[in-house]
Amino acid sequence: MKKLLAAIGLSLLGLGAVQAQSPAWPQKQVTIVVPFGAGGTTDLFARIVAEQLQAKYGKPFVIENRPGAGGNIGTTAVAKATPDGHTLLVGTVSTHAINPFLYKNLPHDAEKDFIPITGLAKLPNLLVVNPKIPVKTFAEFVEYAKQNPGKLNYGSSGAGTSQHLAAELFQLKTGAKMTHVPFRSSQDIVNGLIGGHMISPSTT
């Protein structure tokens, strides 16, 4: 049996395919690898699902956070795990649609090394700013960013993630120039934003 990919997530319905191949599944603890840091959106969904699966099947479902390299570290770990259906990955658009085109010589194949189970959620990216930035609307932010090239930092869950590419596209479309600050999870981004750690000294 190949490794199982939850293309952002797992569900009870999607696990029917696993049961058909191995009626006794799970036979032992199931590890659900989240390729981003604890507390982020992907992590929160994984923990909700793990709790439900553990209640249904009576076996431990353990979350293992393996952040780094835009999700590649955790993804590679699952690709190299024993292919017995007891190591699952909470994949995202970054790990399976973006990274294969951004990183050369990945130690895993995003298509061949995984079997998708099901989709769990579709999540938008949001643009939020620290209150010290003197803007109230998106139009005001665009104007401010264009008038202050290189003075704004922006956070993402890592290089190549959807937040990173969305911000790069924003800069291409508007001509703004900002500095990328990669974090390990969306929760880390929020903490950095609230704490003012992403604000350049020249903007305060």
CATH number for 25: 3.40.190.150
Question: Amino acid identity, residue 135?
Answer: V
* 109 is a domain residue: yes
Report whether 158 contacts 71 (CB < 8 A): yes
Model confidence, pTM: 0.74
Average pLDDT over residues 109-135: 89
12 and 109 share one domain: yes
Residue in the structure block whose two tokens are 């390729």: 35
How many Å apart are CA 192 and CA 199, to the nearest integer? Answer: 9
Report the 3 state secondary structure along 72-129: HHHHHHHHCCCCCCCEEEEECHHHHHHHHHHCCCCCCCCCCCEEECCCCCCCCCCCCC
Q: What is the pLDDT of residues 111-123, one digit of tens each?
A: 999 999 988 888 8
Q: Which residue segment(s) compose the domain that 166 sits in?
A: 138-203
31 and 87 share one domain: yes
7 and 97 share one domain: yes
Alpha helices by DSSP H, listed for the chain, are 16-21, 41-57, 72-79, 93, 99-102, 138-147, 162-174, 186-194
Q: What is the pLDDT of residue 12?
A: 35
16 and 100 share one domain: yes
* 127 is a domain residue: no
Q: Is 65 helix (H, G, I), strand (E, B) or coil?
A: strand
Domain count, the chain: 2
Q: Is 3 helix (H, G, I), strand (E, B) or coil?
A: strand
pLDDT at 159 over 60: yes
pLDDT at 203 over 50: no
Average pLDDT over residues 37-55: 93
104 and 182 share one domain: no
H/E segment holding residue 154:
strand 152-156
Residue in the structure block whose two tokens are 């249904």: 56
Paired tokens of 141: 């932010």
Report whether 41 contacts 125 (CB < 8 A): no
Identify the burial level of 81 via C-beta atoms within 10 angstroms of its C-beta, where 0-12 means exposed, 13-18 middle and 19 or more buried: middle
Which residue, 116, 147, 168, sits at the end of a domain? 116
Contacts of 149 (CB under 8 A, 6+ apart): 176, 177
pLDDT at 14 over 80: no
Average pLDDT over residues 24-50: 93
Q: What is the pLDDT of residues 57-102, one digit of tens each?
A: 999 999 999 998 889 999 999 999 999 999 999 999 999 999 999 8
28 and 101 share one domain: yes
